[in-house]
Amino acid sequence: MLKLYNTLTRKIEEFKSLKPGKVGMYTCGPTVYDYTHIGHLRKYIGDDILKKVLRANGFEVHHVMNITDVGHLTSDEDSGDDKMEKGAKEQNRTVWEVAKFFEDYFFKSTNAVNIERADIVCRATEHIGAQVKLIKLLEKNGLTYITPHAVYFDTTKFPKYGQLSGQKLEDKKVGSRSDVFVDKAKKHSADFALWFFTVGHFKDHTMRWSSPWGEGFPGWHIECSAMSMEYLGESFDIHTGGIDHIGIHHENEIAQSEGATGKQFVKFWVHHDFLNLDKEKMSKSKKNFLRLEDIVGKSLPAGRQGFDPLALRYLYLTGHYRSEMAFSFESLTGAQSALNNLRDEIRLWDQPKEVVAQYWQRFLEAANDDLNIPKALAVLWELVKSEIPSSDKSATLLEMDKILGLGLEEYIGKKVEVPEEVQKLIDARENARKSRDFKRSDDLRKEIKKLGYEIEDNTSGYKIRKL
């Protein structure tokens, strides 16, 4: 039985899908104005794990993720500039070029850490019609008002506003910085834009469409309501996002969707905590971020290449998704060496035969306990160290890896192939060891290392790894 923490009820609950055996899941995707960083990857790996745990429980998952390519202002509370337009200006490219470049970059990064692509990836700019339709419905239901700058959602007309974060409407503060765009005609600070007009501050906005209210572009939140309901229906099972989305973006999505349909929008809200760097959330806007290249390209002591992207995935599996994680190269080094050890072990295993229920069940139980993957990983290591036949270990491990996504299959039973000249040195070293000439054996080990292979003795002989 899968249990998940539901932000909406603030409780760990048994997961039950709306339709038997099927799960509709929506993920807020990236705003494609800058590089995907490894903090984003933690969050999308978290979604990937959730999806795979659902599958391990027999659910068929229909997963939808959006791409925000318009309407997300520098402040989530509708003040400032459009992030896309700002990014385009800074990079001297068109908004469309910026969107395409960073969307491609996003998928390059997610592919490298084995994140499975959503079944449907939908761009806000390609769903303007659905967003306009939804705004019209909200207008018909008396939930909107218009200022010279925008069409707003009137939060005071939606009594349930604040249910997700537990905030009261009266407690919402107005964003009053004077250096950025703030619409003074907004009636309540919690009200949010559904449609911005391309006038005043936004008169030069490149992305613009006609609408019943005038030319403009959609606010950020409406895209997620419109597209999730288009692909998953008016009510669906799971919506995910980072914890930063709870108070504004997701609250607004609920208001828009439930304000339009009168039905419950989402049953389970799953939120992931952050990856921090130097005690702060790793973030694009603060420019304190590391990209995948920064870790893959990192030069390491002894001429070693940088880290494997999957070491990052392994690192993320060691923390619970509802706890923040501090990034450090020390912890990544630890993850890399754990992953190397795991790969080395399984190279010696036989091809898969039987899944061992005792280990698999305990692994799944941990995963089902609000995605306690660190505990599941501990069960994996118990399996590795156990005395059961290696063919059964292989089968069980592969089942576990359907959730973990470490790409372990390609290592099972694959002894490292070494060139002839290296093999000769290895044999010579074995002979030296047998005749207890440890000085020579050590010199040969160093020579082997120079040729790009690391040799390590163990109880059953030696292990060899390509550096």
- Residue numbers at the binding site for ligand AMP (CB under 6 A): 28, 30-31, 39-40, 42-43, 241-242, 244-245, 274-275, 281-284
Residue 313 interacting partner from Zn ion, ligand AMP, none (CB closer than 5 to 8 Å by kind) = none
Closest CA to 268 of 5, 52, 1: 5
Residue 399 interacting partner from ligand AMP, Zn ion, none (CB closer than 5 to 8 Å by kind) = none
* H helix intervals, 278-435: 292-296, 309-317, 329-347, 357-368, 373-385, 390-404, 420-434
User: Residue length, the chain?
Assistant: 467
Give the contacts of 195 (CB within 8 A, at least 6 positions apart): 132, 135, 150, 151, 211, 213, 216, 217, 218, 219, 222
**Footprint of Zn ion on residues 216-255 (CB under 5 A)?**
224
Compare residues 105 and 265 and give the one whose CB is closer to ligand AMP.
105
Residue written as token pair 């494609």: 32
Compare residues 364 and 371 and give the one whose CB is closer to ligand AMP.
371
Say whether residue 28 binds Zn ion (CB under 5 A).
yes
Residue 274 interacting partner from ligand AMP, Zn ion, none (CB closer than 5 to 8 Å by kind) = ligand AMP
Compare residues 224 and 418 and give the one whose CB is closer to Zn ion.
224
CB burial of residue 142 (10 Å; 0-12, 13-18, 19+)? exposed
Compare residues 18 and 243 and give the one whose CB is closer to ligand AMP.
243
144-146/150-153 β-pairing = antiparallel
Residue 71 interacting partner from ligand AMP, Zn ion, none (CB closer than 5 to 8 Å by kind) = none
Q: Cβ distance 111 to 41 under 8 Å? A: no
Compare residues 28 and 366 and give the one whose CB is closer to ligand AMP.
28
CA distance 37 to 289: 6
Compare residues 108 and 466 and give the one whose CB is closer to ligand AMP.
108
Report which residue's Cβ sits closest to ligand AMP.
Answer: 242
Rounded alpha-carbon distances, angstroms, from residue 123 to 68, 150, 190, 385:
6, 22, 26, 46
CA distance 46 to 157: 35
Residue 31 interacting partner from Zn ion, ligand AMP, none (CB closer than 5 to 8 Å by kind) = ligand AMP
- Nearest approach, Cβ of residue 131 and Zn ion (Å): 12
- Nearest approach, Cβ of residue 65 and ligand AMP (Å): 10
Residue 224 interacting partner from Zn ion, ligand AMP, none (CB closer than 5 to 8 Å by kind) = Zn ion
Residues making contact with Zn ion (CB under 5 A): 28, 224
